[in-house]
Amino acid sequence: MKKSLIVVIILIALLLIGCSAVNVDDTEQTQQTAQEPAPAKRAERIDVEPAEFEAQMNGNYVLLDVRSYDEFDEGHIEGATLIPVDELAERWSEIEEYDKILVYCRSGNRSVTASEILLDEGFGEVYNLLGGIGAWSDYKN
């Protein structure tokens, strides 16, 4: 009888030791996971119609035209800064002082590309004018 009781006590002790070891491992892994920083979430492009685009023209912003030099010379939104989309990757530092970037092109395609470049560079608020300067002209007339 004593042997059976001793065996039961040893089994219970081994079971308790085994469970506490598993808990320690779980705790250590949880602590390691909690200490690792979560990956930074990239901001997303904000596509807006002309009225909302205009509403964003406040605060510390830049109005960015990403068309060609010739297109810009033919007409642009007043106050716009020209950086053609194919030069943006090398020239984004010219606009990094702004909190908000309002991007447009002719029809809305190049501005999507420009917006993605800016987001990849870490800009937080990037507004893309849907329909480009054509939609803007229709809105203003």
Q: Return the CATH architecture of domain 46-140.
A: 3-Layer(aba) Sandwich (3.40)
Is pLDDT at 14 greater than 80 in this prediction?
Answer: no
Question: Counting beta carbons within 10 angstroms of the beta carbon of residue 139, is it exposed (0 to 12), middle (13 to 18) or buried (19 or more)?
Answer: middle
Q: Where are the domains of the chain?
A: 1-36, 46-140
How far is residue 97's CA from residue 16's CA, in Å, rounded to a whole number? 61
C-alpha 63 chain-centroid distance = 20
* Residue 61 DSSP SS3: strand
pLDDT of residue 107: 94
Report the candidate in 39, 34, 56, 36 with the shortest Cα–Cα distance to residue 47.
Answer: 56
pLDDT at residue number 28: 47
Q: Return the active site residues.
A: 105
- Would the pTM of this model clear 0.75, i.e. be above it? no
